[in-house]
Amino acid sequence: MKNIILICLLTFSLAACNTATKKEEKIDFTKSYETAALALTDAQLNYDAAVASKDTARIAAAKIQLETAKTNYLNSKNNYTANGGIVKQEDDQLLAKANTALGKPAKDTTTLAAAAEKFIDSTKVNADKKAKQVIGAIATGENKVKQVSDAVAAGQNTVKNNVIKANEGLKKVNDSTKKRLEEIKKQGNDLLNLFKRKTDTTKNN
């Protein structure tokens, strides 16, 4: 009987501890959320003052502060609502104002980490695209070089063939001229022989 009572007391104690722990966690999440909301408010006020000053360096610094405060607010808000917390309407209105100041949609929930990851991904895509463009340009250049090389080779072959044909033509002309000269020489000899025979015949008569 005593053991049963002890077990019951232990069970109730554990349940009470769990309940207390959950309450403490909820209080921590609430405190974290409220702190983040106040930080976002301060960052927004600081950004508004920087814009009014028209100091570009101050505006840039204030914008980074506002972006960081927004990220912290969103993270705290997500943990807070996941544990049963209810977000204040004025805080969501402040988030919308911060998004507008940062040049984003009013309901944007992009954190710095997500934005950085997106930037890295886009940079990687652009780098891959550039690499492909360079490879394509190299391939195109190689093709151009090959085309020029082929054209030079074709030109050399054409010149070589023309020289061969010219030499062949010259040889034919030389052969034809030589043959013609031989024919003329033969005709001349024949005429001389004929004239010689006539002279001899006349002498004999």
The per-residue pLDDT for range 134-188, each reduced to its tens digit, is: 677 667 777 776 776 777 677 777 767 776 776 776 677 677 777 887 888 788 7
Output the pLDDT for position 16.
40
Output the pLDDT for position 166.
66
Q: What is the pLDDT of residues 95-124, one digit of tens each?
A: 888 888 888 887 777 765 555 555 556 666
Q: How many CB atoms lie within 10 A of CB 65?
A: 17
**What number is the average pLDDT over the span 179-205?**
74
Q: What is the dihedral of CA 80, 82, 84, 86, to 10 degrees?
A: 50
Q: What is the pLDDT of residues 18-51, one digit of tens each?
A: 444 444 445 588 898 899 889 999 999 999 999 9
pLDDT band at 54; cut points 50, 70, 90: very high
The answer for residues whose C-beta is within 8 angstroms of residue 106's C-beta and 6 or more apart is 96, 99, 100
Query: Residue 9: pLDDT above 70?
Result: no
Output the pLDDT for position 27.
56
Nearest alpha-carbon partner for 168 in 156, 180, 176 = 176
Output the pLDDT for position 205.
61
Q: What is the pLDDT of residues 70-81, one digit of tens each?
A: 999 999 989 998
Token reading at 205: 């008569």
Residue with tokens 């999440």: 29
Domain coordinates in residue numbering, the chain: 2-110
**pTM assigned to the model:** 0.43
Output the pLDDT for position 122.
60
Helices (H), 54-111: 56-82, 89-101
Ranges 6-15, 126-135, 146-155, most confident: 146-155
pLDDT band at 8; cut points 50, 70, 90: very low
Residue 54's region, left for phi above 0, alpha for psi from -120 to 50, else beta, is: left
